[in-house]
Each structure stands twice: as structure tokens, then as C-alpha cells.
Amino acid sequence: MSQMIRVTLPDGSAREVGRGTTPAQIAANIGPGLAKAALAAKIDGELRDIMRPLEEDTNLALVTSRDEADALELVRHDFAHVLAEAVQNLFPGTQITFGPSTNDGFYYDFAPTAEHGPFRDEELPLIEEEMRRIIAADLPLTREVWERDKLIAKWEAEGETFKAEWAHELPEGEELTVYRSGEGWMDMCRGPHLASTGKLDPAAFKLTRVSGAYWRGDQKNAQLSRIYGTGWLNKKQLAEHLVRLEEAAKRDHRKIGREMDLFHLQEEAHGSVFWHPKGYRIYRELEAYMRRAIDGAGYQEVKTPQVMDAKQWEQSGHWGKYRENMFVIPDEVPNIEDDGPLVSDHAEWMALKPMNCPAHVLIFRQGMKSYRDLPLRMAEMGCCHRNEPHGALHGIMRVRQFTQDDGHIFCREDQIVEEVRAFCELLDRVYKQLGFEKYAVKLALRPDMRFGTDEMWDKAEAELREAVARAGMANDDYGWEELPGEGAFYAPKLEFHLTDAIGRTWQCGTIQSDRVMPERLDASYVGEDGERHRPVMLHRAILGTYERFIGILIEHFAGRFPTWLAPVQAVVATIVSDADAYAKDAVAQLTAAGIRVEADVRNEKINYKVREHSLAKVPYLLVVGNREAEEGTVAIRTLGQDGQRIMPLAEAIAMLKGEATPPDLKD
């Protein structure tokens, strides 16, 4: 075997180096500046340790902090390992489990000793101090390959039962690697990692909170303590992120929802929203807007059952692939006569629908369909239920009962690209009218576990690419990106990721090209040739779910909704009681003009009223006193602006009517 290998760099140049040379050594040969800046290496596109020897001809790219996505993933992974080492240093006997990087940081799950009990937020500063000590020590992070039996024996001898369990279950023949920090502490990990702990900036991380978790996410397993942190490349990035977190806390939809009296949640209905009148007004306005949008795009709205027989879900494939997320219901009268089980062993099973698509296929199958009937665009504001774990629920952003702005397009093969293109343009118009100018388009490609042939997936993925290109979105302006392995089990999909007012992204819209479900549920149409053909089924949504999207809107606008969506669009407030009659007359005229308006004739000072309605995020406050009553005017205060404008009531009504008109109904 030759002792020399060929390393090709990104600029096309190649170097002959000895087998076993590390990327760090190549960086040093190129120059001292690069040697200092290089954090890791990409070997044939795979991220690797910079100290890991090269064993064969390869394409090499050196990763620096300028490669921000890769660099952040590395440092966050390293922060997680340093966190785990710090905790075990401070609290001997604590067991370690897993510690991945996240979108803005990292976490690690621990099994504390019985004597200590769950970790507490008050302990985070102490842990941070120990982490900074480990970073300052600049301990080398070295990769080691272990034999399975020896590694399991080591974990068991040290009382690391969770690591031993995981090592036992890894596939036979898979290389088991650990990373050692200095000469002592180690963790089982695939890597990669930085060369040493000193490559981390000790001022670029912060531990944020402690929460409960379950081993492997299963409530039947041991309860763990999860410590979260945020990690960045430098102190400036951390400071900017903490400012964003502070702003996000101010915008938290749960906090604003309480302040504006929009909704509430409670344990008696885990994961379901109690909409209050003002919150449901937002819901209704958004729903009405979406109905106009889909009506204009040629959809036919339907309504389908909440509960269907398990056999239907078996046929669609959801019973096998998705049952753990479904609420199942016995199809028999429960036992009420004795202390025996509520349900017999002979009960047939039904399920609350987690999605609408199988029911839409059943509607499509009613009556013979011709190629001339296609495309058939079917929409449903469909209420669905998914059995999300209690710990995963989050306000109205992640719930168990939700309503989708769901739709399915049944079309011929030759109609797919045009239908997807038209959907992209519809979504673009909706997002921009709702106040989101920026969003990214991503194509999620085939996962490892999937239905259908490779040829079917090749075709479906190519069609979505072409549709996005025809819509003019396959470019950097729309954040175009492909995501390997992230498609649904039955189809590739386009994802649409909104960017909100403080730079966070939310995946909302989607469209999926599906040839599997029409086959499984025997949907067909008669083609021009007189033969039966399978339609292609395009699953699509724009908002995603009303609950989550309203939560996003609350946080995007910080509760200051555009006037057309605001639950109360204006308040007429009196300065003196002598103006009460005029205020009530103004309210009557505004109501007749279609404005959602309230009167505030309480015996309170006007400054108090102004402050209260500002906190309630009312877009317009119309102040009236004796002078305004005599002259037929109002003093208008606009939310978020200083001062006021005096104008005739009729002019104010015309202005507010224009502001309150939904964007799709304006001239």
C-alpha cells in the first residue's frame, strides 16, 4: 500500500502527503494564520476532527469561523460535552446520557444521584464557573475507538447504566467511538469535536434553564434533569442572542395572550386551547381571509368526520407509521356494570383523525372522475388531534387539538408542476399580505424509511424543483435549499420557513407530491384513453395550523396586530361625563361602518385610559370631550405614536374603515 495519498483542496490544487497526515498539519503547511483559524475539516463533504488522520485520497476543505453553520454546530457540541464534564466534576455519581447541539445552543440530560435530586436553576452559575475552568485548561479532545465489550464493561463498572444500555443497542459492526477530555473524562460520541477545549470562547456561552426530561423521550422511562445552554462563536454573538431572547420574552404569546385576554390553557384539556371572545375574533378574521384566498384559487371546501375506523388508517399506512401519535377509541359501549376492565378484548378500534388526507381521498372516490375533472382542489378547515407528549406541548404553538388550513389537489401527472407553481404564488401573496416579507423555500428529500420506488421519488422531487424554479423562487432571495432525508414517509415536500420581526424562523407552509396514498386507497380517474389512472395527490397548507400561526402572529406583531386583525380596532374614550352621549353616538356610527369598537365612559382620568388601552394594544383611541362633542370631532391617538390628530368624526370613520379593511379586499 502506498504511503502517500492525494489531497485535493477547494481551489482545485492537490497535495501529496503521507498517509496519516492530519488536516491540522496541512493547515499549518499552508500558513500559520490558517493553522490558528482552522476548527475542523470537511472530508469529501463530511465534517471531521481536524486532528483525525487521513488514510486515503480525499477532497479536503478546512472549516473556520467564517463557515458559521458548521462552526456553530461544532462549538455547541463541545459546550455540551464541557457541561457534562463540569457536572460530573461538581456532583460525583451523576450519570450522563445524551447532549446534542440545538438551533441556538445545546443541552445535556443527566441522571442525578438520589441524594442530590433534580438539578436547580440556582446551581447553573456554579456549573458555568466549572465549565470556564475546563475551557481555560485547554484540554485536548481526542477520539478513541473502543471494542464494544470493553466499552460496555467500562460504563457498567463506573455505574453509567444509560451509556451501557445505549452501547448495547448500537448495531453490531458499528464503530464505537469516545472522546476524551485531557487524560481522564470521556463520553461516547460520534463527533466531530474541536481540537481542544481552549478553542471555545469562555465568554460565548450561558446556561439558561433546567427542566425535566425522560430517558429516550419515553414517559415510562427514568426521569432526568435537562440543562439547557446557548453557545456561540464569540461574546458579541452571545450578547446579540441574549437581546433577542429578552425581546422574545416580551413577545411570548402566552404572556400577551393573558394580557390581551385572548385565550387560556388548563390541565383539564391538555394541549387544547380555550379561545376567549377577543382571541376567537382574530381566529375568525384569519379564517375568513383564508376562505377568500382558497375560494379565489378554485378550491372546494369540505368537512370530514373526526373519527374513522382503524381499518381505514391501516389502509392509508398511518396505523403502522403514525399510531403512537394517534388517539385511539374502542368502538363499543364501555363496561359500567362491575369493576372489570372498561373495554373488552374484543373491541374494534377507531381513531381521532391526526390529519385529513385519507378522508379527502374517500370524498374523491365518490362517483366516477374523469381526466376533465382534474385538477380537483379540495380544502378543509379540519380539526385534528395528535397525541403529543405532555412535555412537548408549548402554549398554542404545539397542541394536541388543532385546526389546519388543509388542502389536497388531485391532478394528472402533466398538471403537477403548474399546480405547485400556482400554490407557491398563492402562498407568497398570503404571507406578504399577512405581514411576512421574508421566508425561505426548502425541498425536503426522501427519508430512509419510505413508501414507493426510487423512480417514483426521483420524479416527485424533480417536479417540485421545476415548480419552484417556474415560480421564480429557486434562488438565494427565497433562501432556496434542499434537505436530504427530511421528506415525509410517503412523499417529498416543499417547506416554507417564515422569518418574524426579530429574526426567528417558523416552518409553516408545505406542499407534498404524493403518489402512494392514491394507490393505497384506490383512488382513480378515467383518462382520455378510457382507462383507469391514478391521480397524484398534492398535500398542501399555507398557515399550517390556525393555533400555531396565531401564536406566531402574536409574537411577530408583539400583540400590535394590524387593524384588520385586531380584536378591538378602536376605543372611544371620554374626558368628561358630559361627552358620554356623544361617545356612544360615535360608537354607534363606527359599528355601523363595520369597525370593532368599544366605549370607555368610566369616571377615570384620560391618562389612565390611554395607558390601559395602549397596554391592551388597541390600534386607535378616539378621545372626546365637550369641545369634540360640540364640533363633531375626535382626537385620534394611534398606538405606538406620540401626539394626537383632531379630525371630524366622519373623516375618522372613513380612515378607520380603510385601515380595518383586510388587505385582500383593498382596491
C-alpha dist (Å) from residue 461 to 374, 410, 468: 21, 17, 11
State the cell numbers at 589.
356610527
The H or E element containing residue 248 is helix 235-251
483 is written with which cell numbers? Answer: 434537505
Identity of the amino acid at 184: G
Distance separating alpha carbons of residues 365 and 528, to the nearest angstrom: 18
Which of 23, 21, 18, 20 lies closest to 9, judged by CA? 23
Burial of residue 198, with CB atoms counted within 10 A of its CB: 0-12 exposed, 13-18 middle, 19 or more buried: middle
Q: Helices in 269-369 by DSSP H: which ranges?
A: 277-296, 310-316, 318-321, 357-364
Q: How many CB atoms lie within 10 A of CB 59?
A: 14
CA angle 33, 191, 96 (to 5 degrees): 125
Distance, in Å, from the CA atom of 356 to the CA atom of 245, rounded to the nearest integer, reads: 36
Asked if residue 554 lies in contact with residue 500, where contact means CB atoms within 8 angstroms, the answer is no
Does residue 539 have an active-site annotation? yes
Q: Burial level of 505, CB count in 10 A (0-12/13-18/19+)?
A: middle
From the DSSP assignment, how many helices (H) and strands (E) are in the chain? 20, 32
Residue tagged 432525508 (cell numbers): 485
Q: Yes or no: say if 278 and 261 are a contact pair by the CB < 8 Å rule.
A: yes
Paired strand residues for 274: 264
Which listed residue (254, 360, 386, 609) is catalytic? Answer: 386
d(CA 400, CA 273) in angstroms, rounded, equals 9
Q: Determine the Cα–Cα distance for residues 492 and 56; give it in Å rounded to an integer.
A: 35
Choose the catalytic residue: 76, 253, 408, 617.
408
Let me know if 508 is a catalytic residue: no
Question: Pairing between strand 105-111 and 95-96?
Answer: antiparallel
**199, 539, 596, 613: the active-site residue:** 539
Q: Is 497 helix (H, G, I), strand (E, B) or coil?
A: strand
Cα separation, 426 vs 348, whole angstroms? 42
Exposure of 4 by Cβ count < 10 A (0-12 exposed, 13-18 middle, 19+ buried)? Answer: exposed
Residue 227, SS3?
strand
Please work out, in degrees rounded to the nearest 5, the angle formed at the alpha carbon of residue 566 by the alpha carbons of 664 and 619: 110
CA pair distance 107, 84, nearest whole angstrom = 9
Listed in sequence order, the DSSP H helices in 434-494 are 454-470
Inter-axis angle of helices 454-470 and 416-433, nearest 10: 50
In the block, cell 396505523 appears at 319
Amino acid at 116: H
User: How many Å apart are CA 351 and CA 104, to the nearest integer?
Assistant: 37
Q: Are 512 and 493 in contact (CB under 8 A)?
A: yes
C-alpha cell at 64: 473556520
- Write down the catalytic residue from 281, 446, 493, 596: 493
Catalytic-labelled residue, pool 78, 187, 406, 500:
406
Q: Which of 199, 206, 226, 357 is the catalytic position?
A: 357
Catalytic annotation on 386?
yes
Identify whether 357 is a catalytic site residue. yes
Cα 374 to Cα 238, 358, 414, 537, 585, distances in angstroms: 53, 18, 11, 11, 54
Among 88, 95, 312, 404, the active-site one is 404
- How far is it, in rounded angstroms, from Cα 417 to Cα 419? 6
C-beta of residue 197 within 8 angstroms of C-beta of residue 41: no
Active site members: 357, 386, 404, 406, 408, 493, 539
